Amino acid sequence: MNREYGVGVKVPHRCGDIKQKELMEMGMDFIKKTKKDYFTYLDVLRETGITNMYGAPPYLANAFKLGKEEAREIVREWMEARK
């Protein structure tokens, strides 16, 4: 039996606490690096003036092979971080 921890990391149910913690930290590090990459891409997209940032989700989705909803959420987070 596997458990899925909201970060897309599946950990076998019988793993020890240390192993689960290590895997969770690896997953969180991956997400942080990826979010930084997304935000950098959005910064560059904004500087180019190709689109206003409300039109950014399709560009982000295409560049990183994301779903529409995921791209919208990342752009929303980026906008919140830039206030």
Q: Is the pLDDT assigned to residue 23 strictly greater than 70?
A: no
- Domain count within the chain: 1
d(CA 24, CA 67): 23
Q: Quote the radius of gyration of the chain (alpha carbons, Å).
A: 16
Q: Which residue has the higher pLDDT, 82 or 18?
A: 82
- Write out the two tokens for 7: 């970060």
Beta bridge partners of 11: 3
Provide the terminal-to-terminal Cα distance of the chain, rounded to the nearest Å. Answer: 43
Domain that holds residue 31: 2-81
Give which of 80, 27, 35 is closest to 53, Cα–Cα. 80
- The model carries a pTM of 0.64
- Confidence label for 13 from pLDDT (cuts 50, 70 and 90): very low
Q: Is the pLDDT assigned to residue 15 strictly greater than 50?
A: no
- Tell me the per-residue pLDDT of 38-75, one tens digit each, with 9 for 90 and over: 999 999 999 999 999 999 999 999 998 899 999 999 99
